[in-house]
A and B are shown apart, each in its own frame.
Chain A
Amino acid sequence: MEFGPHLLLATLEGAISAAVLALIAVGLSIVFGIMRVVNVAHGEFYMLGAVMAWWITSHVGGHPAIGFLLALIVAPIMVGSIAALADHLILRRINYDPERTIVATIGLLYVLQQLTLMTFGADARPVEAPFNMRIALPWFENGVDGWSMYWPWGLSTTTYKLAVIVAAVVVLVGLWLFMTRTRAGLIMRATQLNRDMALAHGIPVEKIYALVFGLGAGLAALASVLVVPIQQAHYLMGGDPLLLAFIVVIIGGLGSIPGTIVAAILIGMSDGIISVFFSPTLAKILATLLVAFVLIFRPQGLMGKPAK
């Protein structure tokens, strides 16, 4: 393939990883924004979503779309409930102390990962996409006889991949409407602004925290159900998305949702494009160093406002 079509293909792949990454990172970001804790086990909730999607689809017969739709609804709810339970059993008891929460969620990471290894096994398992039509993409070229259109070999995408991007956008818009237009969203934002004041106004802060933790995990699970027909479910799949989500949330400004989304697009696209043309390891080194230096020299993130 020539450079132009190759770049288009890389951009498309980048757009898919950006869409999925935005969902995962927003989940991490609302948990940090509202609860002021870093959830290191976030990647494992993502992994659980994929594993549950596999489990559900392999138990539902008929057209693959039926099982997939069911997984799309059930898996995030189940993962969200597990997260809310973990919040109730662990985080609430250590009073959301930021440092102890990190240690506890590292523990949770190992527990979820290893329990999945014990039950689900070490193999990667596929989930069939509900629909999967190949779309060939045209490319235009200015040749000797003017502009011409042709279909380069290998330049194609699938309807499912495009649907993932659309679905991610829909979910993010829905989340934004939920946070800004509903009473529950208002209460969450009030808790974010001032926990004690919210408590004084009779807002059940502990329940809100459990809800937010569940919502964050649910978003990660939703992202993984969407992505599992493209990738495969595996018990170690949570590591890379966790690192990328961290990078996105920190560069976008901790707790800022618009910043997170912009950073997800930036990182997702550039990760996709850089990995195609250069070494993926080098891309990751640069990204991790970028995060470290952003935290050191510009802790509010590239988009966030400086703390007053």
Chain B
Amino acid sequence: MTKKSKALALHLFTIASLAGVFFILPEYHSGIVARVLVLTIYAMGYNLLFGYTGLLSLGHALFFASGMYGLGLAMQYLHLSPITGLIAGLAFAAFVSTVIGFLALRTSGVAFMIVTLMFAQAGYLTILLLGEYTRGDEGFVIKQSQRMISGFDLSDATNRYFVALALFSVCLLIIGWIVQSGFGKTLVAIRENEERAKMLGYNVQLHKWFAVIISGTMSGAAGAIYALLFGYVGATFATVQYSIFPLLYVLLGGAGTTIGPLIGALFMFYLIDISSQFTNAYLLIAGVALIFLTLYAPQGLAGVVRKHVIRWLP
């Protein structure tokens, strides 16, 4: 088998086992996995920029929130259907990431991190400022009656799981296809040596811009799907913490691997979920994990596997 078909087989196997696992899991856990799948979409979007292009953003919550509010506000005030709402969310996230990418990519390294952080903070504060419509920190609920696609109830646990899985699968296959394509290989080349990529005649700036747009739009898609499936839109999702989470998931699972974000999100979500039963200081886990990962395993779990066991891991 070629590397490409091996990668595709791995992705299809992952999707199939996630579908099968639903019938074994108790309801509480299938609810969590549905949530994790949506957050994995977010982390996969983040990974395209951080893991494959080498651009560390500290402001992806802005894109997540763009998708979430794009869908949420459109459904709340324009009474759009879930499908058109999702399109509105995607369009808004694409618009925001196009603008932010254009501006932020004029900087690099630490300045890029701070600029994205500042834009995200400005976005979060704007949500609070427009509290009259966004309901600020409190957020608003998308009514169950609105979350129906011609009789198909998105708030039902089984439906929710399989919709999350379906959308996750689409994103996983898109990412798998992108990183195998010439475009994806160029992104990796930029990550490894930007000057050389430029010397070879690639338009580095344009590639990076596309990477931000795809990454931001996918993160926005996650935000919109989250709002749609769980029926809640709130400013918490725009805070710095939600910019840190995908970084944490990707670092833990393995930056620059297609299944790393899933592993990282699953692992970290359960770690935080379990520890929050014992203490209210559950973010301590996140802090300790960040420090240990930077110190000892910057390539993450899947990265270690790729280095020592399965060298073809996409």
- Chain A interface (Cβ < 8 Å from any Cβ of B): 38, 90, 93-94, 98-100, 102-104, 106-115, 117-118, 122, 243, 246, 250, 279, 281-282, 284-285, 288-289, 291-292, 295-297, 299
The listed residue (B104, B281, B290, B293) touching A117 by CB distance below 8 A is B281
Contacts of B283 in A (CB 8 A): 110, 113-114
* Partner among B104, B118, B281, B282 whose Cβ is within 8 Å of the Cβ of A288: B118
A109-B287, A296-B103 as given contacts; A100 in contact with B298, CB under 8 Å: yes
Q: How far is the CA of A117 from the CA of B106 in the complex (A)?
A: 39
Contact between chains at A281 and B291 (CB < 8 Å): no
Which single residue of chain A is at the shortest CB-CB distance from B129?
A: A281
Bound-state CA distance A114–B290 (Å) is 14
Q: Which of A93, A115, A279, A296 contacts B115, CB < 8 Å?
A: A296
**Of B68-76, B120-128, B166-174, B306-314, which binds chain A?**
B120-128
Distance A227 CA – B104 CA, assembled complex (angstroms) = 35
Which residues of B, 240-260, contact A by the 8 Å Cβ criterion? Answer: 244, 247, 251
7 smallest CB-CB distances across A and B, nearest first, come from A110-B287, A107-B290, A114-B284, A107-B291, A111-B287, A114-B281, A292-B118
> Given A117-B281, A296-B103, is A284 in contact with B291 using a C-beta cutoff of 8 Å?
no
Chain B: residues with CB nearer than 8 A to chain A? 56, 58, 103-104, 106-107, 109-111, 113-115, 118-119, 121-122, 125-126, 128-129, 244, 247, 251, 279-284, 286-291, 293-295, 298
**In the complex, what's the smallest C-beta–C-beta distance from A100 to chain B, in angstroms?**
5
Contact B284 A115 (CB under 8 A): yes
- Nearest residue, chain A, Cβ from B243: A106
Which single residue of chain A is at the shortest CB-CB distance from B59? A292
Q: Is the CB of A281 within 8 A of B125?
A: yes
Could you give 18 example pairs across A and B, Cβ below 8 Å? A90-B295, A94-B295, A102-B58, A103-B56, A106-B287, A110-B283, A110-B290, A111-B284, A281-B125, A281-B129, A288-B118, A288-B121, A288-B122, A289-B119, A291-B118, A292-B104, A292-B115, A295-B111
In the complex, the answer to whether A289 meets B290 with C-beta atoms within 8 Å is no
CB contact between B295 and one of A98, A99, A104, A243 (< 8 Å): that residue: A104
A221 to chain B minimum Cβ distance, whole angstroms, is 20
Q: Of B104, B107, B118, B294, which is within 8 A of A299 by CB?
A: B107
CA of A104 to CA of B287, assembled, Å? 8
Q: How far is the CB of B279 from chain A (nearest CB, A)?
A: 7
Q: A291-B114, A296-B106 are in contact. Are A107 and B122 (CB under 8 A)?
A: no
- Pair A114/B287 contact, Cβ less than 8 Å: yes
Contact A107 B126 (CB under 8 A): no
* Contact between B104 and A103, CB atoms less than 8 A apart: no
A94: chain B residues within 8 A (beta carbon): 294-295
Q: Tell me the complex Cα distance, A107–B287, Å.
A: 4
Q: A93 to chain B: which residues have CB within 8 Å?
A: 295
Looking at the assembled complex, report how far the CB atom of A90 sits from the nearest CB atom of chain B, in whole angstroms: 6
Contact (A99, B279) CB under 8 Å given A107-B287, A282-B129, A299-B111: no
Q: Tell whether, in the assembled complex, residue B291 and residue A111 are in contact, meaning their CB atoms are under 8 Å apart.
A: yes
In the complex, are the beta carbons of B125 and A288 less than 8 A apart? yes
User: Known contacts A99-B110, A114-B283: does B295 contact A292 (CB below 8 Å)?
Assistant: no
For residue B279, which residues in chain A have a CB less than 8 angstroms away from its CB?
Answer: 118
> With A117-B281, A296-B103 as given contacts, are A243 and B121 in contact (CB-CB < 8 Å)?
yes
Question: Residue A295 contacts which of B114, B129, B280 (CB distance < 8 angstroms)?
Answer: B114
Q: Are B122 and A289 in contact (CB under 8 A)?
A: yes
Instruction: Determine which of A100, A104, A279, A288 lies in contact with B129 in the assembled complex, contact meaning CB atoms within 8 Å.
Output: A279
